[in-house]
């Protein structure tokens, strides 16, 4: 079973408040419109690693390829159009996940009814009914990474940021140069990590270049977004020390919860789908627990390459998967906006703190989520960020084997399993968005 740079350096390298998308705050939950005093974020210790270190878990790998780091302009979508209100484009199955700058797909402005349309939102007793009430939300146009950020892309960031003095590595854990919350675990901290470190190089495990990066904390995903923008002359909009996101800038960042769900629905607003492609629980469209994909039963993390589920017949000769089968027939998991892996493979960080009743008080246009002080306290007294999209490792019931990947499913990062909240991070990744000021023009 599967279970321009100066400001950027300051924001990236400063010690982060909170840790791993979690902040310690056991105060009573205030109403969303209550005034909130400005108080420093608490900084709890990171959860213990789930496995012992194993520096030798990256055989026959090569250092990160940094040849593509000179990127003078923000990337166009697949049509070549750099305006954010360009028509949605199909980036195509051969869009390269190996470049430091992800292929971006335009998500047009529009509105949708956010929440659980299927009646399945109460299936997780740990946080039931947090997908209601249904509410209409207007979303401004933005671009979203066609795929989750890959191991190769993240290793390029790590190597470049280390060379610039932005980050530090100690006992296999990556942090800001000044210390603080963990950004990422290398194989020296967790043997299941797909990226190892031998100073000064970060090396992707053989065969994992185009798999989604995992073992990434919220701060590490945010740092990558700031770094990616800096490559293209964009100012950062994620303040890592404060743990806040400025939606008024043109920048790379993590999607809001509302942006993520709107993108996952893929324009299907007449009959809202359970999954990005529709209502069929089809394990040939996504990497889920017990889905029978050719990486299942191999070494953790049992991810699949991004964009693997495109409807084609895949061959072991092309991928070198651990299963004995010579071929694997995929079904197309691409959604209406041309996004892939919006279900399964790896959980994806959003920018938002989790509040279980946020939908009852959410703004109607471009909601940014609650503040940390307004977020719901979990059983350990801490507040956590929201993850979306499900994963390869867990999330099965007698009736559903979908890895928690319904488009409306919300998951506070406290619940990763097993042993919440101290479980592994080998099923947590992210994708980025490129956004302009909300309601503004490019």
Main-chain phi, psi angles of 24, to 5 degrees? -80, 120
Residue 51 to residue 349: CA distance in whole angstroms: 22
The candidate with the shortest Cα–Cα distance to 423, out of 197, 215, 267, 145, is 215
Q: What is the mean pLDDT of each run of 10 residues along the chain (442 residues)?
A: 39 45 48 32 32 33 48 44 38 46 95 95 75 97 98 97 97 97 98 98 98 98 97 95 94 98 97 96 95 96 98 98 98 98 98 97 97 97 98 84 93 92 96 81 36
pLDDT value at residue 63: 54
Q: How far is CA 147 from CA 92, 223, 384, in A?
A: 11, 18, 24
The candidate with the shortest Cα–Cα distance to 302, out of 357, 345, 242, 331, is 345
Main-chain phi, psi angles of 12, to 5 degrees? -75, -40
Residue 370 to residue 424: CA distance in whole angstroms: 26
Q: Which residues of 238-252 are buried (b: 16+ CB within 10 A; e: fewer)?
A: bbbbbbbbebebbbb
pLDDT value at residue 101: 81
231, HSE (Cβ side, Cα atoms, 13 Å): 21
pLDDT value at residue 22: 77
Residue 316 to residue 122: CA distance in whole angstroms: 39
**What is this structure's pTM?**
0.83
Do the Cβ atoms of 130 and 121 come closer than 8 Å?
A: yes
Q: How far is CA 308 from CA 78, 328, 393, 408, in A?
A: 19, 10, 17, 23
pLDDT value at residue 30: 31
Q: Where are the chain's structural domains?
A: 1-22+71-442
Which structure tokens are listed for 388? 């979306």
pLDDT value at residue 436: 84
Angle at the Cα of 209 (from 208 to 213), degrees rounded to 5? 75
Angle at the Cα of 84 (from 80 to 85), degrees rounded to 5? 100
Number of Cβ atoms within 10 Å of the Cβ of 381: 12
Concatenating the DSSP letter of every residue in 26-89 gives: -SPPPPTTS-----PPP-PPPPPPSS---TT--TT-EE---TT----SPPP-TTS--STTSPP-
E strand or H helix at 159: helix 151-163
CATH code of the region 1-22+71-442: 3.90.1580.10
Which structure tokens are listed for 425? 């991070």
Q: Give residues with Cβ within 8 angstroms of 83, minimum separation 6.
A: 442
Concatenating the DSSP letter of every residue in 133-145 gives: S-EEEEE--EEEE
Judging by DSSP bridges, how do beta strands 347-353 and 428-429 pair with one another?
parallel
Do the Cβ atoms of 10 and 4 come closer than 8 Å?
A: no
Main-chain phi, psi angles of 107, to 5 degrees? -110, 110
Main-chain phi, psi angles of 210, to 5 degrees? -100, 15
Cα torsion angle, 308, 312, 314, 319, sign? negative
Helical pair 218-231 and 6-13, crossing angle rounded to 10 deg: 170
Residue 415 to residue 412: CA distance in whole angstroms: 6
């Amino acid at each position: 079973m599967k279970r321009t740079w100066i400001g950027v350096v300051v924001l990236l390298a400063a010690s982060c408040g909170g840790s791993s998308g979690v902040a310690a705050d056991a105060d009573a939950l205030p109403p969303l419109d209550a005034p909130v005093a400005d108080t420093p974020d608490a900084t709890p210790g990171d959860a213990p690693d789930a496995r012992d270190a194993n520096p030798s878990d990256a055989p026959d790998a090569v250092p990160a390829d940094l040849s593509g780091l000179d990127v003078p302009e923000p990337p166009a979508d697949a049509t070549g159009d750099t305006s954010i209100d360009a028509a949605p484009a199909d980036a195509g199955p051969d869009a390269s996940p190996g470049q430091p700058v992800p292929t971006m797909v335009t998500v047009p402005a529009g509105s949708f009814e956010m929440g659980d349309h299927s009646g399945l939102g109460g299936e997780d007793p740990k946080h039931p009914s947090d997908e209601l009430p249904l509410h209409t939300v207007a979303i401004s146009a933005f671009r979203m990474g066609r795929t989750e950020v890959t191991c190769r892309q993240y290793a390029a960031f790590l190597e470049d940021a280390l060379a610039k003095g932005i980050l530090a590595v100690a006992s296999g854990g990556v942090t800001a140069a000044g210390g603080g919350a963990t950004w990422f675990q290398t194989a020296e901290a967790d043997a299941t990590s797909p990226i190892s470190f031998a100073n000064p190089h970060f090396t992707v495990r053989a065969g994992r270049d185009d798999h989604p990066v995992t073992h990434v904390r919220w701060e590490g995903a945010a740092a990558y977004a700031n770094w990616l923008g800096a490559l293209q002359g964009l100012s950062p909009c994620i303040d890592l020390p404060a743990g806040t996101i400025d939606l008024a800038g043109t920048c790379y960042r993590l999607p809001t919860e509302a942006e993520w769900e709107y993108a996952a629905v893929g324009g299907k607003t007449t009959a809202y789908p359970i999954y990005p492609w529709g209502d069929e629980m089809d394990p040939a469209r996504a990497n889920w627990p017990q889905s029978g994909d050719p990486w299942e039963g191999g070494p953790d993390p049992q991810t699949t390459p991004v964009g693997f589920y495109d409807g084609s017949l895949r061959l072991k000769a092309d991928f070198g998967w651990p299963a004995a089968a010579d071929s694997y027939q995929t079904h197309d998991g691409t959604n209406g906006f041309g996004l892939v892996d919006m279900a399964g493979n790896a959980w994806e960080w959003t920018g938002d703190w989790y509040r279980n009743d946020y939908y009852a008080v959410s703004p109607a246009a471009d909601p940014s989520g609650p503040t940390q002080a307004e977020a719901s306290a979990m059983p350990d007294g801490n507040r956590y960020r929201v993850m979306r999209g499900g994963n390869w490792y867990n999330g099965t019931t007698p009736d559903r084997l979908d890895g928690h990947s319904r488009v409306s499913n919300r998951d506070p990062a406290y619940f990763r399993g097993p042993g919440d909240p101290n479980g592994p991070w080998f099923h947590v990744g992210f994708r980025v968005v490129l956004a302009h000021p909300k309601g503004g023009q490019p």
